[in-house]
Structure 1
Amino acid sequence: MTQHVGARRASLLNAALDAAARGWHVFPLRPGAKRPALHHETQCPHTGACAGGHVKWEQRATTDPERIHAAWATGAFNIGLATGPSGLVVIDLDQPKEKGCSDAPGGAAFFGALCERAGQAVPATYRVRTTGGGHHLYFRAPAGARLRNTAGTLAPLVDTRAWGGYVVAPGSTVHGAPYEVVDDRPVLELPAWLLDILQAPPKPAAAGFRPVAPRDVSQVARVALERETTAVAATGEGGRNAALLRGARAVGRFVAWGDIPRHVAEEAFQEAGEAAGLPPAECRTTIRSALDWSIRTARPREAA
Protein backbone atom coordinates (compact mmCIF):
# COMPACT_ATOMS: atom_id res chain seq x y z
CA MET A 1 0.00 0.00 0.00
CA THR A 2 1.47 3.33 -1.03
CA GLN A 3 1.67 6.20 1.42
CA HIS A 4 -0.93 8.15 -0.57
CA VAL A 5 -3.44 5.28 -0.62
CA GLY A 6 -2.84 4.63 3.06
CA ALA A 7 -3.51 8.26 3.93
CA ARG A 8 -6.64 8.27 1.79
CA ARG A 9 -7.94 5.10 3.44
CA ALA A 10 -7.27 6.55 6.90
CA SER A 11 -9.11 9.76 5.98
CA LEU A 12 -12.14 7.84 4.75
CA LEU A 13 -12.10 5.61 7.82
CA ASN A 14 -12.12 8.67 10.07
CA ALA A 15 -14.99 10.21 8.09
CA ALA A 16 -16.96 6.97 8.39
CA LEU A 17 -16.32 6.85 12.15
CA ASP A 18 -17.35 10.49 12.50
CA ALA A 19 -20.64 9.76 10.74
CA ALA A 20 -21.23 6.70 12.93
CA ALA A 21 -20.58 8.80 16.04
CA ARG A 22 -23.53 10.95 14.99
CA GLY A 23 -25.69 7.82 14.91
CA TRP A 24 -25.61 7.54 11.12
CA HIS A 25 -25.38 4.05 9.65
CA VAL A 26 -22.61 3.67 7.08
CA PHE A 27 -21.44 1.06 4.58
CA PRO A 28 -18.64 0.99 1.99
CA LEU A 29 -19.05 2.28 -1.56
CA ARG A 30 -16.66 1.49 -4.37
CA PRO A 31 -13.50 3.62 -4.24
CA GLY A 32 -14.08 6.90 -6.04
CA ALA A 33 -17.65 5.92 -6.95
CA LYS A 34 -21.25 5.96 -5.70
CA ARG A 35 -22.18 2.27 -5.99
CA PRO A 36 -22.13 -0.09 -2.99
CA ALA A 37 -18.96 -2.16 -2.65
CA LEU A 38 -20.95 -5.07 -1.22
CA HIS A 39 -21.70 -8.12 -3.34
CA HIS A 40 -24.92 -8.34 -5.34
CA GLU A 41 -27.63 -10.84 -4.47
CA THR A 42 -26.86 -12.86 -7.60
CA GLN A 43 -23.25 -13.34 -6.39
CA CYS A 44 -24.12 -13.94 -2.72
CA PRO A 45 -21.94 -16.70 -1.18
CA HIS A 46 -24.51 -17.27 1.61
CA THR A 47 -21.74 -17.28 4.20
CA GLY A 48 -20.80 -14.95 7.04
CA ALA A 49 -23.39 -12.18 7.44
CA CYS A 50 -25.38 -13.78 4.59
CA ALA A 51 -25.43 -17.30 6.05
CA GLY A 52 -29.17 -17.03 6.62
CA GLY A 53 -29.86 -15.34 3.29
CA HIS A 54 -28.60 -12.38 1.33
CA VAL A 55 -28.25 -9.20 3.43
CA LYS A 56 -28.52 -5.97 1.47
CA TRP A 57 -26.61 -2.74 2.06
CA GLU A 58 -29.40 -1.11 4.09
CA GLN A 59 -29.36 -3.97 6.59
CA ARG A 60 -25.55 -4.13 6.68
CA ALA A 61 -25.07 -0.42 7.30
CA THR A 62 -23.71 0.05 10.80
CA THR A 63 -22.55 2.41 13.53
CA ASP A 64 -20.31 -0.26 15.12
CA PRO A 65 -16.70 1.06 15.16
CA GLU A 66 -15.24 -2.46 15.04
CA ARG A 67 -17.17 -3.35 11.89
CA ILE A 68 -16.27 -0.03 10.31
CA HIS A 69 -12.56 -0.54 11.09
CA ALA A 70 -12.75 -4.04 9.60
CA ALA A 71 -14.46 -2.84 6.41
CA TRP A 72 -12.19 0.13 5.71
CA ALA A 73 -9.06 -1.85 6.56
CA THR A 74 -9.37 -3.54 3.16
CA GLY A 75 -9.59 -0.46 0.93
CA ALA A 76 -10.12 3.27 0.44
CA PHE A 77 -13.87 2.94 0.16
CA ASN A 78 -16.21 5.87 -0.24
CA ILE A 79 -18.89 6.16 2.43
CA GLY A 80 -22.52 5.32 1.89
CA LEU A 81 -24.95 6.66 4.49
CA ALA A 82 -28.17 4.65 4.79
CA THR A 83 -30.73 7.37 5.46
CA GLY A 84 -33.61 5.24 6.77
CA PRO A 85 -31.75 3.39 9.57
CA SER A 86 -30.00 6.68 10.41
CA GLY A 87 -33.32 8.41 11.10
CA LEU A 88 -32.65 10.91 8.33
CA VAL A 89 -34.45 12.47 5.41
CA VAL A 90 -31.99 14.04 2.98
CA ILE A 91 -33.25 16.50 0.37
CA ASP A 92 -31.09 16.31 -2.76
CA LEU A 93 -30.93 19.57 -4.71
CA ASP A 94 -29.57 18.40 -8.03
CA GLN A 95 -28.16 20.25 -11.03
CA PRO A 96 -29.42 19.86 -14.64
CA LYS A 97 -27.43 17.14 -16.39
CA GLU A 98 -28.35 17.85 -20.01
CA LYS A 99 -25.74 19.45 -22.23
CA GLY A 100 -26.13 23.20 -22.60
CA CYS A 101 -27.98 23.55 -19.30
CA SER A 102 -25.30 25.48 -17.42
CA ASP A 103 -27.61 28.48 -16.99
CA ALA A 104 -30.81 26.48 -16.44
CA PRO A 105 -32.36 26.57 -12.95
CA GLY A 106 -31.23 23.80 -10.63
CA GLY A 107 -32.82 22.06 -7.71
CA ALA A 108 -31.78 24.81 -5.29
CA ALA A 109 -33.72 27.41 -7.31
CA PHE A 110 -36.81 25.20 -7.55
CA PHE A 111 -36.66 24.37 -3.85
CA GLY A 112 -36.27 28.06 -3.00
CA ALA A 113 -39.37 28.81 -5.07
CA LEU A 114 -41.27 26.05 -3.26
CA CYS A 115 -40.31 27.53 0.11
CA GLU A 116 -41.33 31.01 -1.03
CA ARG A 117 -44.75 29.79 -2.20
CA ALA A 118 -45.23 28.12 1.17
CA GLY A 119 -44.28 31.32 2.98
CA GLN A 120 -41.25 29.62 4.52
CA ALA A 121 -37.54 30.35 4.57
CA VAL A 122 -35.17 27.77 3.11
CA PRO A 123 -34.43 25.61 6.18
CA ALA A 124 -31.00 26.21 7.72
CA THR A 125 -29.67 22.74 8.52
CA TYR A 126 -26.63 20.51 8.02
CA ARG A 127 -25.68 20.87 4.36
CA VAL A 128 -23.23 18.99 2.11
CA ARG A 129 -22.05 20.12 -1.34
CA THR A 130 -22.01 17.27 -3.86
CA THR A 131 -19.49 16.72 -6.62
CA GLY A 132 -21.99 17.78 -9.29
CA GLY A 133 -22.52 21.22 -7.76
CA GLY A 134 -25.73 20.29 -5.97
CA HIS A 135 -26.45 20.14 -2.25
CA HIS A 136 -27.75 17.66 0.31
CA LEU A 137 -29.90 19.09 3.11
CA TYR A 138 -30.02 16.76 6.12
CA PHE A 139 -33.12 16.50 8.34
CA ARG A 140 -34.15 14.28 11.22
CA ALA A 141 -37.16 12.15 10.34
CA PRO A 142 -40.12 13.02 12.59
CA ALA A 143 -41.07 10.39 15.17
CA GLY A 144 -43.46 7.84 13.73
CA ALA A 145 -42.84 8.84 10.11
CA ARG A 146 -41.46 6.19 7.76
CA LEU A 147 -40.83 8.06 4.56
CA ARG A 148 -39.59 6.52 1.33
CA ASN A 149 -37.46 7.98 -1.46
CA THR A 150 -39.06 10.45 -3.85
CA ALA A 151 -38.04 11.93 -7.20
CA GLY A 152 -39.47 15.30 -8.16
CA THR A 153 -42.33 15.18 -5.64
CA LEU A 154 -41.29 18.44 -3.97
CA ALA A 155 -40.06 20.19 -7.12
CA PRO A 156 -38.10 19.50 -10.31
CA LEU A 157 -34.53 18.35 -9.64
CA VAL A 158 -35.42 17.94 -5.96
CA ASP A 159 -35.33 14.34 -4.69
CA THR A 160 -35.46 12.90 -1.19
CA ARG A 161 -33.67 9.94 0.37
CA ALA A 162 -35.16 8.13 3.36
CA TRP A 163 -35.99 4.42 3.81
CA GLY A 164 -34.67 2.44 0.88
CA GLY A 165 -32.15 5.11 -0.01
CA TYR A 166 -28.66 6.33 0.73
CA VAL A 167 -26.44 9.32 0.06
CA VAL A 168 -22.70 9.62 -0.41
CA ALA A 169 -21.34 10.94 2.88
CA PRO A 170 -18.90 13.85 3.24
CA GLY A 171 -15.26 12.85 3.04
CA SER A 172 -15.94 10.76 -0.07
CA THR A 173 -14.67 11.76 -3.51
CA VAL A 174 -16.09 11.00 -6.97
CA HIS A 175 -14.05 11.76 -10.10
CA GLY A 176 -11.52 13.45 -7.83
CA ALA A 177 -14.06 15.94 -6.42
CA PRO A 178 -15.06 15.81 -2.74
CA TYR A 179 -18.37 15.77 -0.93
CA GLU A 180 -17.87 18.64 1.50
CA VAL A 181 -19.79 19.93 4.52
CA VAL A 182 -20.64 23.56 3.82
CA ASP A 183 -22.88 24.10 6.87
CA ASP A 184 -22.10 22.12 10.01
CA ARG A 185 -25.00 23.37 12.09
CA PRO A 186 -27.20 20.82 13.93
CA VAL A 187 -29.55 18.69 11.84
CA LEU A 188 -33.09 20.07 11.96
CA GLU A 189 -36.19 17.95 12.21
CA LEU A 190 -37.98 17.86 8.86
CA PRO A 191 -40.40 20.83 8.88
CA ALA A 192 -44.05 19.89 9.20
CA TRP A 193 -45.01 21.60 5.93
CA LEU A 194 -42.49 19.50 3.99
CA LEU A 195 -43.65 16.36 5.80
CA ASP A 196 -47.22 17.13 4.73
CA ILE A 197 -46.19 17.28 1.08
CA LEU A 198 -44.20 14.05 1.27
CA GLN A 199 -47.00 12.21 3.06
CA ALA A 200 -49.82 13.51 0.88
CA PRO A 201 -51.57 10.68 -1.01
CA PRO A 202 -50.98 10.84 -4.76
CA LYS A 203 -53.78 12.37 -6.76
CA PRO A 204 -55.00 10.17 -9.61
CA ALA A 205 -54.65 11.52 -13.10
CA ALA A 206 -57.84 13.22 -14.27
CA ALA A 207 -59.92 10.83 -16.30
CA GLY A 208 -60.53 11.72 -19.89
CA PHE A 209 -57.55 14.01 -20.42
CA ARG A 210 -57.26 14.92 -24.08
CA PRO A 211 -54.17 16.68 -25.40
CA VAL A 212 -54.60 20.06 -27.04
CA ALA A 213 -54.39 19.86 -30.84
CA PRO A 214 -54.29 23.43 -32.19
CA ARG A 215 -55.00 23.73 -35.90
CA ASP A 216 -52.70 26.67 -36.56
CA VAL A 217 -49.39 24.88 -35.90
CA SER A 218 -47.26 22.57 -38.02
CA GLN A 219 -47.87 18.82 -38.00
CA VAL A 220 -44.51 18.12 -36.34
CA ALA A 221 -45.12 20.69 -33.61
CA ARG A 222 -48.67 19.44 -32.99
CA VAL A 223 -47.51 15.83 -32.67
CA ALA A 224 -44.74 16.87 -30.24
CA LEU A 225 -47.18 18.88 -28.10
CA GLU A 226 -49.71 16.06 -28.00
CA ARG A 227 -47.07 13.44 -27.18
CA GLU A 228 -45.43 15.43 -24.39
CA THR A 229 -48.64 16.62 -22.71
CA THR A 230 -50.10 13.11 -22.80
CA ALA A 231 -46.93 11.76 -21.15
CA VAL A 232 -47.13 14.41 -18.41
CA ALA A 233 -50.79 13.70 -17.66
CA ALA A 234 -50.08 9.97 -17.36
CA THR A 235 -47.14 10.36 -14.96
CA GLY A 236 -47.68 9.11 -11.43
CA GLU A 237 -46.60 10.54 -8.09
CA GLY A 238 -42.84 10.83 -7.70
CA GLY A 239 -41.99 11.95 -11.21
CA ARG A 240 -44.65 14.49 -12.20
CA ASN A 241 -42.57 17.64 -11.78
CA ALA A 242 -39.66 16.15 -13.67
CA ALA A 243 -41.95 14.97 -16.49
CA LEU A 244 -43.53 18.42 -16.76
CA LEU A 245 -40.12 20.09 -16.87
CA ARG A 246 -38.82 17.70 -19.55
CA GLY A 247 -41.95 17.93 -21.67
CA ALA A 248 -42.15 21.72 -21.64
CA ARG A 249 -38.45 21.96 -22.49
CA ALA A 250 -38.89 19.55 -25.39
CA VAL A 251 -41.74 21.62 -26.85
CA GLY A 252 -40.07 24.93 -26.03
CA ARG A 253 -37.97 24.87 -29.18
CA PHE A 254 -41.16 24.99 -31.28
CA VAL A 255 -42.21 28.05 -29.28
CA ALA A 256 -38.79 29.62 -29.94
CA TRP A 257 -39.17 28.92 -33.68
CA GLY A 258 -42.65 30.46 -33.80
CA ASP A 259 -44.39 27.16 -34.56
CA ILE A 260 -46.49 27.21 -31.37
CA PRO A 261 -47.69 30.38 -29.63
CA ARG A 262 -46.33 30.46 -26.10
CA HIS A 263 -49.76 30.82 -24.50
CA VAL A 264 -50.94 27.67 -26.32
CA ALA A 265 -48.01 25.64 -24.95
CA GLU A 266 -48.52 27.05 -21.46
CA GLU A 267 -52.23 26.23 -21.43
CA ALA A 268 -51.62 22.70 -22.76
CA PHE A 269 -48.98 21.86 -20.17
CA GLN A 270 -50.96 23.54 -17.39
CA GLU A 271 -53.89 21.26 -18.15
CA ALA A 272 -51.61 18.20 -18.35
CA GLY A 273 -49.81 19.02 -15.11
CA GLU A 274 -53.04 19.52 -13.20
CA ALA A 275 -54.41 16.31 -14.70
CA ALA A 276 -51.39 14.51 -13.25
CA GLY A 277 -52.24 15.94 -9.83
CA LEU A 278 -49.80 18.83 -9.54
CA PRO A 279 -50.91 22.07 -7.82
CA PRO A 280 -51.73 24.84 -10.33
CA ALA A 281 -49.15 27.28 -8.95
CA GLU A 282 -46.43 24.62 -9.12
CA CYS A 283 -47.35 23.88 -12.75
CA ARG A 284 -47.13 27.54 -13.71
CA THR A 285 -43.71 27.98 -12.11
CA THR A 286 -42.27 24.87 -13.74
CA ILE A 287 -43.73 25.60 -17.19
CA ARG A 288 -42.54 29.21 -17.15
CA SER A 289 -39.02 28.19 -16.14
CA ALA A 290 -38.86 25.39 -18.73
CA LEU A 291 -40.08 27.52 -21.63
CA ASP A 292 -37.83 30.44 -20.66
CA TRP A 293 -34.85 28.10 -20.72
CA SER A 294 -35.79 26.49 -24.03
CA ILE A 295 -36.40 29.82 -25.76
CA ARG A 296 -33.11 31.17 -24.47
CA THR A 297 -31.04 28.14 -25.49
CA ALA A 298 -32.84 26.86 -28.61
CA ARG A 299 -30.58 26.30 -31.61
CA PRO A 300 -31.70 27.64 -35.00
CA ARG A 301 -34.12 25.32 -36.78
CA GLU A 302 -31.61 24.52 -39.53
CA ALA A 303 -29.00 23.49 -36.93
CA ALA A 304 -31.35 21.34 -34.83
Structure 2
Amino acid sequence: RGGEHLYFTAPAGVRLKCSANRLGPHVDTRAWGGYVVAPGSTTGDGAYEVTDDAPVAPLPGWLAERLTEPNRPAVVPLAPVRDGTRAARTALERECAVIAATTDGGRNNTLHKSACKVARFVAWGDLPRDVAERAIQGAGESTGLPPAECRTTIRSAMDWVIAHATPRQAAS
Protein backbone atom coordinates (compact mmCIF):
# COMPACT_ATOMS: atom_id res chain seq x y z
CA ARG A 1 0.00 0.00 0.00
CA GLY A 2 2.44 2.56 -1.20
CA GLY A 3 5.51 0.85 0.24
CA GLU A 4 8.42 -0.88 -1.43
CA HIS A 5 9.75 -4.41 -1.58
CA LEU A 6 13.52 -4.79 -1.49
CA TYR A 7 14.95 -8.16 -2.49
CA PHE A 8 18.26 -9.59 -1.24
CA THR A 9 19.92 -12.99 -1.48
CA ALA A 10 20.29 -14.69 1.89
CA PRO A 11 23.75 -15.52 3.20
CA ALA A 12 24.85 -19.12 2.65
CA GLY A 13 24.19 -21.43 5.57
CA VAL A 14 21.84 -19.05 7.37
CA ARG A 15 18.14 -19.74 7.71
CA LEU A 16 16.48 -16.40 8.34
CA LYS A 17 12.88 -16.18 9.51
CA CYS A 18 10.10 -13.78 8.66
CA SER A 19 9.56 -10.81 10.93
CA ALA A 20 7.12 -7.97 11.48
CA ASN A 21 8.26 -4.61 12.87
CA ARG A 22 11.51 -6.16 14.14
CA LEU A 23 13.64 -3.71 12.17
CA GLY A 24 11.28 -0.80 12.70
CA PRO A 25 7.64 0.23 12.40
CA HIS A 26 6.00 -1.02 9.20
CA VAL A 27 9.13 -2.93 8.16
CA ASP A 28 8.40 -6.60 7.59
CA THR A 29 10.80 -9.20 6.29
CA ARG A 30 10.09 -12.41 4.47
CA ALA A 31 12.51 -15.29 4.42
CA TRP A 32 12.27 -19.01 5.10
CA GLY A 33 8.62 -20.03 4.80
CA GLY A 34 7.42 -16.53 3.88
CA TYR A 35 6.02 -15.14 0.68
CA VAL A 36 5.49 -11.74 -0.89
CA VAL A 37 3.30 -10.34 -3.60
CA ALA A 38 5.80 -9.98 -6.43
CA PRO A 39 6.04 -7.87 -9.59
CA GLY A 40 3.49 -9.02 -12.15
CA SER A 41 0.84 -9.56 -9.47
CA THR A 42 -2.30 -7.47 -9.24
CA THR A 43 -4.29 -6.82 -6.07
CA GLY A 44 -7.15 -4.51 -5.19
CA ASP A 45 -4.52 -1.84 -4.50
CA GLY A 46 -3.10 -2.09 -8.03
CA ALA A 47 -0.35 -3.84 -9.97
CA TYR A 48 3.08 -4.63 -8.55
CA GLU A 49 5.84 -3.39 -10.83
CA VAL A 50 9.63 -3.46 -10.87
CA THR A 51 10.93 0.07 -10.25
CA ASP A 52 14.64 -0.79 -10.40
CA ASP A 53 15.78 -3.79 -12.43
CA ALA A 54 19.24 -3.96 -10.83
CA PRO A 55 20.45 -7.48 -9.98
CA VAL A 56 19.44 -8.82 -6.59
CA ALA A 57 22.15 -7.86 -4.10
CA PRO A 58 23.46 -9.93 -1.20
CA LEU A 59 21.86 -9.11 2.14
CA PRO A 60 24.14 -6.60 3.91
CA GLY A 61 25.95 -8.08 6.90
CA TRP A 62 24.53 -5.56 9.37
CA LEU A 63 21.03 -6.44 8.24
CA ALA A 64 21.68 -10.19 8.37
CA GLU A 65 22.96 -9.73 11.92
CA ARG A 66 19.78 -7.95 13.00
CA LEU A 67 17.61 -10.62 11.37
CA THR A 68 19.47 -13.62 12.77
CA GLU A 69 17.76 -15.21 15.72
CA PRO A 70 19.75 -14.78 18.93
CA ASN A 71 21.00 -17.94 20.53
CA ARG A 72 18.39 -19.16 22.93
CA PRO A 73 19.44 -20.03 26.42
CA ALA A 74 19.97 -23.72 26.90
CA VAL A 75 16.91 -25.48 28.21
CA VAL A 76 17.68 -26.30 31.79
CA PRO A 77 16.16 -29.60 32.89
CA LEU A 78 13.43 -28.92 35.37
CA ALA A 79 14.02 -29.99 38.92
CA PRO A 80 11.78 -32.88 39.83
CA VAL A 81 8.48 -31.71 41.21
CA ARG A 82 7.93 -33.38 44.55
CA ASP A 83 4.64 -31.72 45.38
CA GLY A 84 1.18 -32.51 44.11
CA THR A 85 -0.30 -35.64 42.67
CA ARG A 86 1.25 -37.81 40.00
CA ALA A 87 -1.18 -36.48 37.38
CA ALA A 88 -0.32 -32.88 38.30
CA ARG A 89 3.42 -33.57 38.07
CA THR A 90 2.97 -35.30 34.73
CA ALA A 91 0.83 -32.46 33.37
CA LEU A 92 3.37 -29.87 34.51
CA GLU A 93 6.29 -31.73 32.93
CA ARG A 94 4.43 -32.27 29.66
CA GLU A 95 3.24 -28.69 29.38
CA CYS A 96 6.74 -27.38 30.12
CA ALA A 97 8.05 -29.59 27.29
CA VAL A 98 5.36 -28.23 24.95
CA ILE A 99 6.31 -24.66 25.85
CA ALA A 100 10.05 -25.26 25.47
CA ALA A 101 9.53 -26.78 22.01
CA THR A 102 7.59 -23.77 20.72
CA THR A 103 9.25 -21.43 18.23
CA ASP A 104 8.49 -17.88 17.12
CA GLY A 105 4.94 -17.07 16.20
CA GLY A 106 3.05 -18.66 19.04
CA ARG A 107 5.30 -18.74 22.07
CA ASN A 108 3.14 -16.48 24.25
CA ASN A 109 -0.08 -18.17 23.16
CA THR A 110 1.37 -21.62 23.92
CA LEU A 111 2.66 -20.36 27.27
CA HIS A 112 -0.82 -19.11 28.16
CA LYS A 113 -2.61 -22.31 27.08
CA SER A 114 -0.16 -24.53 28.94
CA ALA A 115 -0.36 -22.39 32.09
CA CYS A 116 -4.17 -22.69 31.94
CA LYS A 117 -3.95 -26.48 31.70
CA VAL A 118 -1.65 -26.69 34.71
CA ALA A 119 -3.60 -24.09 36.71
CA ARG A 120 -6.53 -26.44 37.24
CA PHE A 121 -4.24 -28.70 39.29
CA VAL A 122 -3.25 -25.66 41.33
CA ALA A 123 -6.93 -24.78 41.81
CA TRP A 124 -7.65 -28.34 42.97
CA GLY A 125 -4.81 -28.24 45.51
CA ASP A 126 -2.73 -30.90 43.74
CA LEU A 127 0.21 -28.63 42.94
CA PRO A 128 1.56 -25.56 44.74
CA ARG A 129 1.18 -22.44 42.63
CA ASP A 130 4.80 -21.33 43.16
CA VAL A 131 6.10 -24.70 41.93
CA ALA A 132 3.96 -24.53 38.80
CA GLU A 133 4.84 -20.89 38.10
CA ARG A 134 8.60 -21.46 38.51
CA ALA A 135 8.61 -24.44 36.15
CA ILE A 136 6.45 -22.73 33.51
CA GLN A 137 8.51 -19.52 33.83
CA GLY A 138 11.71 -21.47 33.09
CA ALA A 139 10.14 -23.14 30.07
CA GLY A 140 8.86 -19.81 28.74
CA GLU A 141 12.20 -18.08 29.15
CA SER A 142 13.95 -20.97 27.38
CA THR A 143 12.03 -20.02 24.21
CA GLY A 144 13.44 -16.50 24.31
CA LEU A 145 10.38 -14.78 25.78
CA PRO A 146 11.31 -11.96 28.15
CA PRO A 147 10.96 -12.84 31.86
CA ALA A 148 8.43 -10.05 32.51
CA GLU A 149 6.23 -11.20 29.61
CA CYS A 150 6.33 -14.77 30.94
CA ARG A 151 5.38 -13.67 34.47
CA THR A 152 2.48 -11.55 33.23
CA THR A 153 1.11 -14.29 30.96
CA ILE A 154 1.47 -17.02 33.60
CA ARG A 155 -0.15 -14.91 36.33
CA SER A 156 -3.03 -13.98 34.07
CA ALA A 157 -3.70 -17.62 33.15
CA MET A 158 -3.34 -18.87 36.73
CA ASP A 159 -5.54 -16.14 38.22
CA TRP A 160 -8.34 -16.72 35.72
CA VAL A 161 -8.37 -20.51 35.92
CA ILE A 162 -8.13 -20.57 39.71
CA ALA A 163 -11.07 -18.14 39.94
CA HIS A 164 -13.17 -20.09 37.42
CA ALA A 165 -12.01 -23.70 37.85
CA THR A 166 -14.57 -26.44 37.51
CA PRO A 167 -14.59 -28.56 40.67
CA ARG A 168 -12.67 -31.82 40.22
CA GLN A 169 -15.84 -33.94 40.55
CA ALA A 170 -17.57 -32.05 37.71
CA ALA A 171 -14.44 -32.14 35.51
CA SER A 172 -14.11 -35.93 35.67
TM over 0.5: yes
* Normalised TM-score (structure 1): 0.36
- Distance change >3 Å, CA 289–CA 163, structure 1 → 2: farther
Question: Which of 147, 150, 159 is residue 29 of structure 2 equivalent to?
Answer: 147
- Number of residue pairs the alignment of both structures matches: 122
Contact 2:75–2:142 (8 Å) recurs in 1: no
* Normalised TM-score (structure 2): 0.61
Unaligned runs of 5+ in 2: 5-24, 38-65
Equivalent residue letter for 1:246: K
Identical positions, percent? 51
Q: Indicate whether 1:262 and 2:129 are aligned.
A: yes
Equivalent residue letter for 1:146: D
Alignment of 1:6-155 (within 5 A): 24=1, 87=3, 141=26, 145-148=27-30
Unaligned runs of 5+ in 1: 1-23, 25-85, 89-139, 149-161, 165-198
Aligned to 2:58: none
- Specify which structure has the higher proportion of strand: 1
Aligned to 2:49: none
- What do you get for the CA RMSD once the two structures are aligned? 2.9
| Mapped partners of 1:293, 1:231: distance in 2 | 21
- Distance change >3 Å, CA 228–CA 147, structure 1 → 2: same
| Mapped partners of 1:200, 1:298: distance in 2 | 42
Q: Indicate whether 1:236 and 2:118 are aligned.
A: no
Equivalent residue letter for 2:80: A
1:129-179 C-alpha deviation (Å, 9 max, x unpaired): xxxxxxxxxxx72xxx3335xxxxxxxxxxxxx957xxxxxxxxxxxxxxx
Equivalent residue letter for 1:300: P
Q: Indicate whether 1:250 and 2:132 are aligned.
A: no
- Distance change >3 Å, CA 284–CA 208, structure 1 → 2: closer
| Mapped partners of 2:36, 2:158: distance in 1 | 35
